Amino acid sequence: MDFELSDEQRRWQAKARKFATEDIRPVSLARDAIEDPAKTWDWDLFTKGSKLGFRTMAVPKQWGGEGTDFVTQALVMAELAKADSAISKSFSQCWKWSHLIAQSCTDEQKARFLKPFLADDTFVLGKGISEYDAGSDNRLPPDDPRAGLKLKAERRGDEWILNGSKAYIANGNIGKLFFIDARTNPNVPLKQGITMFLVPRDTPGFRSGKVFNKSGWRFYQNGEMIFENARVPHANVVGEVNGATRKSGGSGGDTTGGDLFGDLELAANALGICDDACESALKHARETKLFDRQLVQLKVNRMHALTEALRSFVLRVAWEHDKRIHSPNPGLAMNLSTDVVQEVTEIYMELVGGTPHADKLVRDAFIWSHLAGDTVQRLKTARRL
Amino acid sequence: MFDLRLSPEQLEIRDTVRDFVTREIRPVALASARLEAFDRPLLTGLLEEASRMGLRTLALSEDAGGAGADALTRCIVTEELAAGDPDIAAILAHTAALAPLLEGTPFLPPFLEDDGFHLAITDCNAAQGMLEGVAAGVANATIAKLFVVRTGSGALLVPRETKGVAVREQPGDWYHGSCGEVTFSNCRVPAANSIAAVGTIASVLPAISLGIGRAAYEAALEYARIRVQGGKPIIEHQAIAAKLERIAISLEIARAAVWRAAWASDHPEAIADRSLPDLSLQAVAEAYAPQAMLAAAKDAAECFGAMGVMRDMPLHKYVRDARICLHS
């Protein structure tokens, strides 16, 4: 049993804390307050973070990345999220899919996509699964072939022709490369009939649609993606045709970084919000002398107890990932993080009232409801037990 | 005698207001463009229309030109209005509660004539007929044409245009309706504007959270019946059905608490005759309803998946509005 961090882990943590404090926090509330959802992104900030290594830190060293371990990644996500949860997610979203490239792409694909990704500070990754009529059905697919995503891909020679649309896709309007799940066999249940494609931004026939106007996580943009006879080379198929769920997102048996990382990602990010709420609450209580009151002490106690419990769970999950131990813990930690981040931020608001900061934290925390703590995510975890 | 039936008048006004909210308020208040905008100006036209229906003068006696509505009736009306727009509900609730104080004063006729005439109540120190002081967080402050100012010993009716009265809108938008800071400096009010000390005014504000919770519940119920995932409408999945059940239960309990508090204020003798406990049922309603309705709104929004956080849909507003009830 050893809770000590390595020197390298501490270095990353300190670097993330510095960037978060000096660069992210000062712009966090202002970015959140931009009314047009398509204008919240800050390329200068993102580029600066990229140059510090925060965009590419999950790419293995042999491919020119930082090759950080999962514990380091969890620490960095929490530090960045402490200053702004959505900005932290903007960076970690790139890690999520660089795990996927590293684990599931051929060497030829890695050479074609990882190199430009590493070289360009504005190269952002995304993945398209959700559609307007297919959300929960993609996560817990029923056997009915009609259920689940509908984006169609048909083979024509050396190309695949994609038709349909995706909705609520993170980085959908700013990303340069996407992993797109498409239906390659509409006559079988979803799990056996979808294929994952690498779709670069400049793919003919692909364009971005509207940017969704979210109440929380406003910096982190979700877009609509439209495919009208979009032509994708066969060389961009990830893994096998009709084999996408075996590569990511399949309930239970994930073999790649994407799904494995995603659960940890949301839990670690929630931890950062909790740290922010705890620190801000304590500061407020002490400055206003409210801390003398028993009820305030009890609230602050509850916030810290929940936060520290979540920290223990997050770091354990990260450690298990580094040891390649498979367990339901990532899912459990992600589900629990929803309850924790929402209770902690609501208590924070009870203490300070509807300040712009508390308002942002509760709105950001509510995003967990549909990503990490909805009933489908909890059922999925239960079925892994 | 334990009787939970509403009177024919209460049922009629509930139906009338519900119909008005469905036909007139909701299409405007919950239009996508308005939901998306950060700034949501008060719907003054609809507020005046609601006033023309008699909702501003609801609690005035029939002799004074009102409907003589009791606190329970005002709770019913407030819930219905809040299901469409908590801002309109809050403003009318405040004005309606204060209006009976104008009976027998020269301010009653102008109040009755002007559908935009609203009231606010605040406290201020008075010395030798002069008001001096600042009151923050005054509901209806920016829209009120007359302030009821409690001075300790009694109360004064102070028109907005009185010299020495200044109103500043409360920064941000963390309130329902209208809110501001009222400053009285060297403000001389004629003795003729004095009224008797203001007693306890039954607050129907917890009914605002009921309206918000109910709107969220009805939206989730409707959606759960039509949204098909996992091979059937999601209401047929235990996980969603249990969530809707929890919302429905909390809504019923919250309404029972709010109505009981209102009924208690309408029947002050009920404590003496031991029908009710000697306990502030108002405090019970205020403590329970807003927190239960925030949980209900969050549960309802979750039924919508990603749409529960999208600004062009009403769910995010229900959650936020419920949170404002709890934390303001």
CATH number at residue B146: 2.40.110.10
Domains for chain A: give ranges and CATH numbers: 7-119 (1.10.540.10), 125-247 (2.40.110.10), 257-384 (1.20.140.10)
Task: Identify whether the C-beta of residue A236 lies closer than 8 Å to the C-beta of residue A193.
Answer: no
Q: Which two tokens stand for residue A235?
A: 């060389």
Computed over every residue of chain B, the mean pLDDT equals 95
CB pairs under 8 A between A and B: 83
A232 vs A159: CA distance, rounded Å: 6
Residues B98 and B167 in one domain: no
Using alpha carbons, list the distances in angstroms from residue A298 to A285, A344, B231.
Answer: 12, 12, 46
| Concatenated DSSP letters of B104-158 | TSTTHHHHHH-TT-EEEEEE-EEETTEEEEEEEEEETTTTEEEEEEE-SSSEEEE
Q: Which two tokens stand for residue B57?
A: 């003068």
CATH number of residue B240's parent domain: 1.20.140.10
Residues B44 and B21 in one domain: yes
Q: Residue B28: pLDDT above 80? A: yes
Last residue of a domain, one of B195, B220, B245: B195
Q: Smallest Cα–Cα separation from A88: which of A238, A219, A251, A261? A: A219
Residue with tokens 């119920």: B221
- Quote the distance between the C-alpha of residue B211 and its chain's center: 9
Last residue of a domain, one of B195, B216, B239: B195
Chain A residues touching B310 at Cβ < 8 A: 212-215
Interface contact B174-A353, CB threshold 8 A = yes
Q: Smallest Cα–Cα separation from B261: which of B285, B295, B290? A: B285
User: Minimal Cα distance from B242: which residue of A?
Assistant: A375
What distance in Å separates residue B328's CA from the closest CA in chain A? 7
- Kind and range of the H or E run holding B245: helix B238-266
CB count within 10 Å of CB A269 equals: 31
- Kind and range of the H or E run holding B209: helix B206-226
Residues B216 and B283 in one domain: yes
Using alpha carbons, list the distances in angstroms from residue A315 to A75, A307, A318, A367.
Answer: 8, 12, 5, 22
CATH number of residue B74's parent domain: 1.10.540.10
- Kind and range of the H or E run holding B271: helix B269-272
- Per the domain annotation, does B2 fall within a domain? no
ipTM score here? 0.94
Q: Smallest Cα–Cα separation from B184: which of B225, B226, B148? A: B148
HSE, CB side, 13 Å, CA atoms: give it for residue A2: 4
- Per the domain annotation, does B3 fall within a domain? no
- Per the domain annotation, does B177 fall within a domain? yes
**Angle between helix B206-226 and helix B281-302 axes, rounded to 10 deg:** 20
Q: What are the pLDDT tens digits along chain A (385 aa)?
A: 889 999 999 999 999 999 999 999 999 999 999 999 999 999 999 999 999 999 999 998 888 888 999 999 999 999 999 999 999 999 999 988 887 887 788 999 998 998 899 999 999 999 888 898 888 888 888 888 888 899 999 999 999 999 999 999 999 899 999 999 999 999 998 888 999 999 999 999 999 999 999 999 999 999 999 999 999 999 999 988 998 765 444 333 344 445 678 899 999 999 999 999 999 999 999 999 899 999 999 999 999 999 999 999 999 999 999 998 988 999 999 999 999 999 999 999 999 999 999 999 999 999 999 999 889 899 989 998 9
- Per the domain annotation, does B161 fall within a domain? yes
Residues B189 and B101 in one domain: no
**Count of domains observed in chain B:** 3
DSSP state, residue A132: T
The amino acid at residue A64 is G
Interface contact B231-A144, CB threshold 8 A = yes
What is the number of helices (H) and of strands (E) in chain B?
A: 12, 10
Task: Identify whether the C-beta of residue A177 lies closer than 8 Å to the C-beta of residue A120.
Answer: no
Chain A residues touching B298 at Cβ < 8 A: 342, 366, 369
Domain span including residue B46: 8-113
Biggest CA–CA distance in chain A, Å, is 74
> What residues contact B275, with CB distance under 8 A and at least 6 apart?
B267
Residues B14 and B82 in one domain: yes
HSE, CB side, 13 Å, CA atoms: give it for residue B179: 14
User: Minimal Cα distance from A374: which residue of B?
Assistant: B302
Q: What are phi and psi of B33, to 5 degrees?
A: -60, -40
Strand-pairing partners, residue A230, are A162
Residues B127 and B106 in one domain: no
Antiparallel, parallel or unpaired: β B130-139 and B125-127: antiparallel
A213 and B CB contact within 8 Å: yes
B137 and A CB contact within 8 Å: no
pTM for this model (two decimals): 0.94
Average pLDDT over residues B222-250: 96
Residues B26 and B108 in one domain: yes
> What residues contact A235, with CB distance under 8 A and at least 6 apart?
A108, A109, A158
Out of B231, B243, B320, whose CB is closest to A147? B231
Last residue of a domain, one of B113, B129, B154: B113
Interface contact A214-B323, CB threshold 8 A = no
Residues B158 and B95 in one domain: no
Residues B302 and B191 in one domain: no
Average pLDDT over residues B217-229: 97
Interface contact B328-A142, CB threshold 8 A = no
Give the tens place of pLDDT for each residue, B273-318: 999 999 999 999 999 999 999 999 999 999 999 999 999 999 999 9
Q: Which two tokens stand for residue B146?
A: 């007359």
DSSP state, residue A135: S
- Per the domain annotation, does B210 fall within a domain? yes
Give the tens place of pLDDT for each residue, B115-161: 999 999 999 998 887 999 999 999 999 999 999 999 988 899 999 99
- Per the domain annotation, does B46 fall within a domain? yes
B164: buried, middle or exposed (CB in 10 Å: 19+, 13-18, 0-12)? middle
- Per the domain annotation, does B36 fall within a domain? yes
Q: Which two tokens stand for residue A374?
A: 């909805």
| pLDDT (0 to 100) of residue B2 | 84
Interface contact A375-B240, CB threshold 8 A = yes
Which alpha helices (H) appear in chain A, and where do they start and end?
A: 7-19, 25-32, 43-51, 70-83, 85-104, 107-119, 136-139, 190-193, 244-247, 257-287, 294-322, 329-352, 356-366, 368-371, 375-384
Cα–Cα–Cα angle for B108, B258, B203, nearest 5°?
Answer: 30
Strand-pairing partners, residue B182, are B135, B167
Residues B126 and B84 in one domain: no
Task: Identify whether the C-beta of residue B151 lies closer than 8 Å to the C-beta of residue B125.
Answer: yes
- Per the domain annotation, does B24 fall within a domain? yes
A29 and B CB contact within 8 Å: no
Residues B105 and B123 in one domain: no
B202 vs B277: CA distance, rounded Å: 17
If you count them, how many residues does chain A have? 385
Interface contact B327-A366, CB threshold 8 A = no
Sign of CA dihedral A54, A55, A57, A63: negative
What distance in Å separates residue A214's CA from the closest CA in chain B? 4
Task: Identify whether the C-beta of residue A127 lies closer than 8 Å to the C-beta of residue A166.
Answer: no
Task: Identify whether the C-beta of residue A294 lies closer than 8 Å to the C-beta of residue A285.
Answer: no
Residues B106 and B127 in one domain: no
Out of B231, B302, B328, whose CB is closest to A354? B328
Interface contact A367-B311, CB threshold 8 A = no
B245 and A CB contact within 8 Å: no
Residue with tokens 């235990």: B238
